[in-house]
């Protein structure tokens, strides 16, 4: 799967950003993995291409920041996407 370039942390905003839209599939993958209790190290490697053994702090930080944003999108951000039509 081709993952778009990602930042260390998604932009913080009360509105859906272009970054959020570009990473919508990434957010879905993170939410699915969290629901399945997948190990964050495996997800960091598969989704972000970060080796958690070589750079555990970065891998955890990137994973957690994007998962937090994915949860925000699932809770509130999606309504903004629906109201755009």
Residue 85, pLDDT above cutoff 70: no
Residues in contact with 61: Cβ distance below 8 Å, sequence separation at least 6, in sequence order: 8, 9
Q: Which residues 6+ apart lie within 8 Å of 10 measured at CB?
A: 17, 19, 20, 23, 65, 66, 69
Express each pLDDT in 9-43 by its tens digit: 999 999 999 999 899 999 999 999 999 999 999 99
pTM of the predicted protein model:
0.87
């Amino acid at each position: 799967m081709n993952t778009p370039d990602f930042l260390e942390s998604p932009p913080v905003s009360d509105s859906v950003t272009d970054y959020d839209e570009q990473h919508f599939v990434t957010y879905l993958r993170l939410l699915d993995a969290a629901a399945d209790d997948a190990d964050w190290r495996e997800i960091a490697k598969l989704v972000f291409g970060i080796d958690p053994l070589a750079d555990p702090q970065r891998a955890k930080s990137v994973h957690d920041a994007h998962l937090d944003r994915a949860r925000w999108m699932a809770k509130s951000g999606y309504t903004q996407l629906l109201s755009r039509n």
